[in-house]
Structure 1
Protein backbone atom coordinates (compact mmCIF):
# COMPACT_ATOMS: atom_id res chain seq x y z
CA UNK A 1 0.00 0.00 0.00
CA UNK A 2 1.36 3.38 -0.94
CA UNK A 3 1.79 6.04 1.72
CA UNK A 4 -1.02 8.16 0.26
CA UNK A 5 -3.41 5.20 0.34
CA UNK A 6 -2.49 4.42 3.93
CA UNK A 7 -3.10 8.05 4.90
CA UNK A 8 -6.48 8.08 3.12
CA UNK A 9 -7.46 4.85 4.88
CA UNK A 10 -6.46 6.27 8.26
CA UNK A 11 -8.41 9.46 7.64
CA UNK A 12 -11.55 7.46 6.77
CA UNK A 13 -11.38 5.79 10.20
CA UNK A 14 -14.42 6.94 12.20
CA UNK A 15 -12.16 8.06 15.06
CA UNK A 16 -10.37 10.42 12.68
CA UNK A 17 -13.65 11.76 11.30
CA UNK A 18 -14.48 13.15 14.73
CA UNK A 19 -13.68 16.85 14.82
CA UNK A 20 -10.85 17.52 17.25
CA UNK A 21 -12.85 20.32 18.83
CA UNK A 22 -15.75 18.27 20.18
CA UNK A 23 -16.33 18.23 23.90
CA UNK A 24 -14.36 15.82 26.03
CA UNK A 25 -17.26 13.50 26.83
CA UNK A 26 -18.15 13.05 23.15
CA UNK A 27 -14.53 12.30 22.32
CA UNK A 28 -14.11 9.77 25.13
CA UNK A 29 -17.42 8.06 24.33
CA UNK A 30 -16.60 7.91 20.59
CA UNK A 31 -13.15 6.43 21.11
CA UNK A 32 -14.50 3.82 23.55
CA UNK A 33 -17.38 2.91 21.25
CA UNK A 34 -14.94 2.54 18.37
CA UNK A 35 -12.94 0.05 20.46
CA UNK A 36 -16.10 -1.83 21.42
CA UNK A 37 -17.15 -2.06 17.76
CA UNK A 38 -13.67 -3.26 16.81
CA UNK A 39 -14.09 -6.21 19.18
CA UNK A 40 -17.26 -7.23 17.36
CA UNK A 41 -15.55 -6.84 13.96
CA UNK A 42 -12.63 -9.02 15.02
CA UNK A 43 -15.01 -11.84 15.97
CA UNK A 44 -17.42 -11.48 13.05
CA UNK A 45 -18.06 -14.49 10.82
CA UNK A 46 -16.39 -17.07 13.06
CA UNK A 47 -17.92 -20.29 14.33
CA UNK A 48 -18.16 -21.10 18.03
CA UNK A 49 -15.24 -23.47 17.61
CA UNK A 50 -13.12 -20.75 16.04
CA UNK A 51 -14.09 -18.28 18.77
CA UNK A 52 -13.05 -20.85 21.41
CA UNK A 53 -9.81 -21.74 19.58
CA UNK A 54 -6.48 -21.03 21.22
CA UNK A 55 -4.42 -20.82 18.04
CA UNK A 56 -1.22 -19.34 19.50
CA UNK A 57 0.74 -22.23 21.04
CA UNK A 58 2.40 -20.07 23.71
CA UNK A 59 -0.92 -18.62 24.92
CA UNK A 60 -4.24 -19.82 26.33
CA UNK A 61 -6.09 -16.77 24.96
CA UNK A 62 -9.14 -17.14 22.75
CA UNK A 63 -11.41 -14.55 21.16
CA UNK A 64 -14.33 -15.83 23.22
CA UNK A 65 -12.26 -15.53 26.39
CA UNK A 66 -11.40 -11.92 25.51
CA UNK A 67 -15.08 -11.04 24.99
CA UNK A 68 -15.99 -12.64 28.31
CA UNK A 69 -13.15 -10.80 30.06
CA UNK A 70 -14.20 -7.45 28.60
CA UNK A 71 -17.80 -8.06 29.69
CA UNK A 72 -16.44 -8.62 33.20
CA UNK A 73 -14.36 -5.42 33.06
CA UNK A 74 -17.38 -3.42 31.85
CA UNK A 75 -19.42 -4.76 34.78
CA UNK A 76 -16.68 -4.11 37.32
CA UNK A 77 -15.80 -0.52 36.48
CA UNK A 78 -19.23 0.84 35.67
CA UNK A 79 -21.54 -1.13 37.97
CA UNK A 80 -19.30 -1.94 40.94
CA UNK A 81 -16.90 1.02 40.99
CA UNK A 82 -18.96 3.92 39.61
CA UNK A 83 -22.49 2.89 40.56
CA UNK A 84 -21.54 1.21 43.84
CA UNK A 85 -23.66 -1.84 43.00
CA UNK A 86 -22.77 -5.41 43.88
CA UNK A 87 -23.80 -7.09 40.62
CA UNK A 88 -21.94 -10.33 41.33
CA UNK A 89 -19.45 -12.04 39.10
CA UNK A 90 -20.41 -13.05 35.58
CA UNK A 91 -18.36 -16.21 35.88
CA UNK A 92 -17.42 -18.42 38.83
CA UNK A 93 -14.08 -17.04 39.99
CA UNK A 94 -13.91 -19.22 43.13
CA UNK A 95 -11.21 -21.56 41.91
CA UNK A 96 -9.90 -19.55 38.98
CA UNK A 97 -9.64 -15.77 38.84
CA UNK A 98 -9.15 -16.10 35.06
CA UNK A 99 -12.36 -18.13 34.57
CA UNK A 100 -13.66 -15.75 31.86
CA UNK A 101 -10.62 -16.74 29.80
CA UNK A 102 -10.41 -20.38 30.81
CA UNK A 103 -13.91 -21.81 31.30
CA UNK A 104 -15.03 -21.62 27.69
CA UNK A 105 -15.59 -25.26 26.70
CA UNK A 106 -19.38 -24.90 26.65
CA UNK A 107 -19.61 -21.17 25.88
CA UNK A 108 -21.08 -19.98 22.60
CA UNK A 109 -20.49 -16.81 20.65
CA UNK A 110 -24.20 -15.96 20.70
CA UNK A 111 -24.63 -16.20 24.48
CA UNK A 112 -21.31 -14.48 25.14
CA UNK A 113 -22.14 -11.51 22.92
CA UNK A 114 -25.63 -11.22 24.45
CA UNK A 115 -23.97 -10.93 27.87
CA UNK A 116 -21.28 -8.53 26.63
CA UNK A 117 -23.90 -6.31 24.95
CA UNK A 118 -25.95 -6.25 28.17
CA UNK A 119 -22.88 -5.14 30.13
CA UNK A 120 -22.08 -2.44 27.56
CA UNK A 121 -25.71 -1.19 27.70
CA UNK A 122 -25.52 -1.02 31.51
CA UNK A 123 -22.19 0.84 31.25
CA UNK A 124 -23.69 3.39 28.86
CA UNK A 125 -26.67 3.98 31.17
CA UNK A 126 -24.38 4.54 34.15
CA UNK A 127 -22.12 6.83 32.13
CA UNK A 128 -25.12 8.87 30.89
CA UNK A 129 -26.25 9.49 34.49
CA UNK A 130 -22.95 10.98 35.67
CA UNK A 131 -20.62 13.87 35.00
CA UNK A 132 -17.04 13.11 33.99
CA UNK A 133 -15.99 14.30 37.45
CA UNK A 134 -18.30 11.85 39.26
CA UNK A 135 -16.30 9.59 41.55
CA UNK A 136 -16.86 6.00 42.52
CA UNK A 137 -14.92 3.75 44.88
CA UNK A 138 -13.24 0.47 44.14
CA UNK A 139 -14.81 -2.26 46.27
CA UNK A 140 -12.34 -3.66 48.76
CA UNK A 141 -9.73 -0.90 48.54
CA UNK A 142 -11.88 2.22 48.49
CA UNK A 143 -9.67 3.76 45.79
CA UNK A 144 -11.43 6.62 44.06
CA UNK A 145 -12.00 6.53 40.30
CA UNK A 146 -13.66 9.29 38.32
CA UNK A 147 -15.87 8.54 35.33
CA UNK A 148 -13.23 10.31 33.22
CA UNK A 149 -10.57 7.89 34.51
CA UNK A 150 -12.82 4.88 33.90
CA UNK A 151 -13.54 5.91 30.29
CA UNK A 152 -9.84 6.43 29.55
CA UNK A 153 -8.97 3.16 31.26
CA UNK A 154 -11.62 1.33 29.23
CA UNK A 155 -10.17 2.66 25.96
CA UNK A 156 -6.79 1.36 27.15
CA UNK A 157 -8.25 -2.00 28.23
CA UNK A 158 -9.96 -2.58 24.89
CA UNK A 159 -6.99 -1.38 22.85
CA UNK A 160 -4.63 -3.74 24.65
CA UNK A 161 -6.91 -6.72 24.18
CA UNK A 162 -7.72 -5.82 20.58
CA UNK A 163 -4.02 -6.27 19.87
CA UNK A 164 -4.36 -9.79 21.23
CA UNK A 165 -7.51 -10.27 19.15
CA UNK A 166 -5.63 -9.24 15.99
CA UNK A 167 -3.05 -11.95 16.56
CA UNK A 168 -5.69 -14.58 17.39
CA UNK A 169 -7.85 -13.75 14.38
CA UNK A 170 -4.89 -13.81 12.03
CA UNK A 171 -3.86 -17.22 13.41
CA UNK A 172 -7.42 -18.53 12.94
CA UNK A 173 -8.14 -17.47 9.37
CA UNK A 174 -5.53 -14.99 8.18
CA UNK A 175 -7.68 -11.87 8.66
CA UNK A 176 -6.19 -8.90 10.42
CA UNK A 177 -6.67 -5.18 10.75
CA UNK A 178 -9.61 -3.08 11.85
Structure 2
Protein backbone atom coordinates (compact mmCIF):
# COMPACT_ATOMS: atom_id res chain seq x y z
CA UNK A 1 0.00 0.00 0.00
CA UNK A 2 1.27 3.47 -0.86
CA UNK A 3 2.03 5.74 2.09
CA UNK A 4 0.11 9.01 2.15
CA UNK A 5 0.55 12.03 4.40
CA UNK A 6 -1.98 11.77 7.23
CA UNK A 7 -5.21 13.73 7.20
CA UNK A 8 -5.36 16.48 9.82
CA UNK A 9 -8.04 18.49 11.54
CA UNK A 10 -6.76 22.01 12.07
CA UNK A 11 -7.56 23.70 15.37
CA UNK A 12 -8.83 27.25 14.87
CA UNK A 13 -6.53 30.03 15.95
CA UNK A 14 -7.50 31.80 19.19
CA UNK A 15 -9.61 34.94 18.84
CA UNK A 16 -9.41 36.22 22.41
CA UNK A 17 -6.62 35.06 24.72
CA UNK A 18 -3.67 36.14 26.81
CA UNK A 19 -0.39 36.73 24.98
CA UNK A 20 1.14 33.28 25.58
CA UNK A 21 -2.00 31.43 24.53
CA UNK A 22 -2.30 33.65 21.45
CA UNK A 23 1.32 33.05 20.36
CA UNK A 24 1.18 29.30 20.97
CA UNK A 25 -2.23 29.06 19.29
CA UNK A 26 -1.14 30.91 16.16
CA UNK A 27 2.07 28.89 15.91
CA UNK A 28 0.11 25.64 16.24
CA UNK A 29 -2.37 26.88 13.63
CA UNK A 30 0.47 27.44 11.16
CA UNK A 31 2.12 24.12 12.00
CA UNK A 32 -1.18 22.38 11.29
CA UNK A 33 -1.68 24.40 8.10
CA UNK A 34 1.57 23.01 6.69
CA UNK A 35 0.43 19.48 7.48
CA UNK A 36 -2.98 20.23 5.97
CA UNK A 37 -1.28 21.24 2.69
CA UNK A 38 0.42 17.81 2.64
CA UNK A 39 -2.57 15.71 3.72
CA UNK A 40 -3.40 12.76 1.49
CA UNK A 41 -0.40 13.17 -0.80
CA UNK A 42 1.96 10.37 -1.82
CA UNK A 43 5.76 10.39 -1.62
CA UNK A 44 5.90 11.25 -5.31
CA UNK A 45 3.61 14.24 -4.86
CA UNK A 46 5.38 15.44 -1.70
CA UNK A 47 8.72 15.42 -3.53
CA UNK A 48 7.51 17.05 -6.77
CA UNK A 49 9.21 20.44 -7.19
CA UNK A 50 7.06 23.54 -7.41
CA UNK A 51 8.17 25.05 -10.70
CA UNK A 52 11.52 25.40 -12.44
CA UNK A 53 14.08 26.56 -11.59
CA UNK A 54 13.01 26.06 -7.97
CA UNK A 55 13.41 22.65 -6.40
CA UNK A 56 11.08 23.54 -3.51
CA UNK A 57 8.82 20.66 -2.44
CA UNK A 58 6.24 20.12 0.26
CA UNK A 59 8.42 17.48 1.89
CA UNK A 60 11.36 19.90 1.78
CA UNK A 61 9.25 22.43 3.68
CA UNK A 62 8.33 19.84 6.32
CA UNK A 63 12.01 18.93 6.74
CA UNK A 64 13.10 22.59 6.80
CA UNK A 65 10.57 23.62 9.42
CA UNK A 66 11.48 20.65 11.63
CA UNK A 67 15.05 21.96 11.69
CA UNK A 68 13.89 25.56 12.24
CA UNK A 69 11.95 24.38 15.31
CA UNK A 70 15.05 22.59 16.62
CA UNK A 71 17.38 25.52 15.88
CA UNK A 72 15.37 28.21 17.62
CA UNK A 73 13.63 26.45 20.50
CA UNK A 74 16.13 23.76 21.44
CA UNK A 75 19.60 24.81 20.35
CA UNK A 76 19.33 28.55 20.84
CA UNK A 77 16.74 29.02 23.57
CA UNK A 78 17.16 25.84 25.64
CA UNK A 79 20.90 25.45 24.95
CA UNK A 80 20.53 21.82 23.92
CA UNK A 81 22.94 20.05 21.60
CA UNK A 82 20.88 19.11 18.55
CA UNK A 83 21.81 16.39 16.09
CA UNK A 84 20.16 17.72 12.96
CA UNK A 85 18.74 15.02 10.71
CA UNK A 86 19.43 16.89 7.46
CA UNK A 87 21.89 19.78 7.95
CA UNK A 88 25.60 19.23 7.56
CA UNK A 89 28.34 21.87 7.20
CA UNK A 90 28.96 20.50 3.70
CA UNK A 91 25.25 20.63 2.80
CA UNK A 92 23.61 23.34 4.92
CA UNK A 93 20.44 23.27 2.79
CA UNK A 94 20.01 19.49 2.79
CA UNK A 95 16.67 19.90 4.56
CA UNK A 96 15.22 21.22 1.30
CA UNK A 97 16.67 18.28 -0.69
CA UNK A 98 13.73 15.97 -0.19
CA UNK A 99 14.31 13.77 -3.26
CA UNK A 100 15.94 11.05 -1.21
CA UNK A 101 13.68 11.68 1.77
CA UNK A 102 11.48 9.17 3.50
CA UNK A 103 8.18 11.02 4.03
CA UNK A 104 6.95 8.79 6.84
CA UNK A 105 10.22 9.25 8.76
CA UNK A 106 10.38 12.96 7.90
CA UNK A 107 6.85 13.57 9.20
CA UNK A 108 7.75 11.70 12.40
CA UNK A 109 10.82 13.93 12.80
CA UNK A 110 8.65 17.02 12.28
CA UNK A 111 6.16 15.90 14.95
CA UNK A 112 8.97 15.01 17.35
CA UNK A 113 10.62 18.42 16.88
CA UNK A 114 7.35 20.23 17.51
CA UNK A 115 6.89 18.30 20.76
CA UNK A 116 10.50 18.96 21.81
CA UNK A 117 10.04 22.66 21.00
CA UNK A 118 6.93 22.79 23.17
CA UNK A 119 8.83 21.09 25.99
CA UNK A 120 11.76 23.52 25.68
CA UNK A 121 9.43 26.52 26.06
CA UNK A 122 7.06 25.06 28.66
CA UNK A 123 6.92 27.10 31.84
CA UNK A 124 9.49 29.62 30.59
CA UNK A 125 8.83 33.34 30.50
CA UNK A 126 8.28 35.05 27.15
CA UNK A 127 10.71 37.68 28.44
CA UNK A 128 13.51 35.17 29.06
CA UNK A 129 16.50 36.09 26.91
CA UNK A 130 19.22 34.02 25.26
CA UNK A 131 22.21 34.67 23.05
CA UNK A 132 22.04 33.25 19.54
CA UNK A 133 24.46 30.45 18.73
CA UNK A 134 27.07 31.48 16.18
CA UNK A 135 29.15 34.48 15.27
CA UNK A 136 26.35 37.07 15.35
CA UNK A 137 25.59 36.34 19.03
CA UNK A 138 22.45 38.48 18.99
CA UNK A 139 20.24 38.58 22.07
CA UNK A 140 16.60 37.54 21.69
CA UNK A 141 13.76 36.57 23.98
CA UNK A 142 11.34 33.65 23.81
CA UNK A 143 8.57 35.95 22.56
CA UNK A 144 10.71 36.72 19.50
CA UNK A 145 10.96 33.00 18.67
CA UNK A 146 7.20 32.66 18.63
CA UNK A 147 6.74 35.71 16.42
CA UNK A 148 9.56 34.63 14.11
CA UNK A 149 8.25 31.08 13.72
CA UNK A 150 4.72 32.32 13.04
CA UNK A 151 6.23 34.50 10.27
CA UNK A 152 8.40 31.64 8.97
CA UNK A 153 5.49 29.21 8.81
CA UNK A 154 3.15 31.80 7.27
CA UNK A 155 5.65 32.54 4.49
CA UNK A 156 6.31 28.87 3.78
CA UNK A 157 2.61 28.02 3.99
CA UNK A 158 2.12 30.43 1.10
CA UNK A 159 4.68 28.42 -0.83
CA UNK A 160 2.95 25.20 0.22
CA UNK A 161 -0.41 26.49 -0.98
CA UNK A 162 1.00 27.18 -4.45
CA UNK A 163 2.77 23.83 -4.64
CA UNK A 164 -0.38 21.97 -3.58
CA UNK A 165 -2.48 23.84 -6.13
CA UNK A 166 0.01 22.88 -8.84
CA UNK A 167 -0.09 19.23 -7.80
CA UNK A 168 -3.81 18.60 -7.70
CA UNK A 169 -5.70 21.88 -7.80
CA UNK A 170 -6.49 21.87 -4.08
CA UNK A 171 -6.55 25.37 -2.63
CA UNK A 172 -7.70 26.87 0.63
CA UNK A 173 -6.56 28.60 3.71
Q: Distance in 1 between matches of 2:140 and 2:68?
A: 14
Q: Once structures 1 and 2 are overlaid, which stretch shifts more, 110-119 or 91-100?
A: 91-100
Q: Distance in 2 between matches of 1:95 and 1:175?
A: 36
Match in the other structure for 2:160: 165
Say which of 129, 132, 152 aligns to 1:138. Answer: 132
Q: Which has the higher helix share?
A: 1
Match in the other structure for 2:93: 98
The answer as to 2:9 corresponding to 1:14 is no
Q: Distance in 1 between matches of 2:149 and 2:18?
A: 18
Conservation of the 8 A alpha-carbon contact between 1:80 and 1:86 = yes
The answer as to 2:56 corresponding to 1:56 is no
Conservation of the 8 A alpha-carbon contact between 1:81 and 1:145 = no
Q: Distance in 2 between matches of 1:19 and 1:165?
A: 24
Conservation of the 8 A alpha-carbon contact between 1:78 and 1:126 = yes
Q: Distance in 2 between matches of 1:100 and 1:19?
A: 33
Structure 1 runs (4+) deviating above 4 angstroms are none
Match in the other structure for 2:123: 129
Q: RMSD across aligned C-alpha pairs, in angstroms? A: 1.4
Q: Distance in 2 between matches of 1:88 and 1:144?
A: 23
Deviations 1:43-100 (A, max 9, x none): 0000001101103123110000000000000000001110011213221423222110
Match in the other structure for 2:5: none
SS in 1 for 2:130: strand
Long gaps (5+) in structure 2? 1-10
- Give the total of aligned pairs: 162
Long gaps (5+) in structure 1? 1-12
Q: For the pair shown, which has the larger CA radius of gyration, 1 or 2? A: 1
Q: Distance in 1 between matches of 2:15 and 2:95?
A: 37
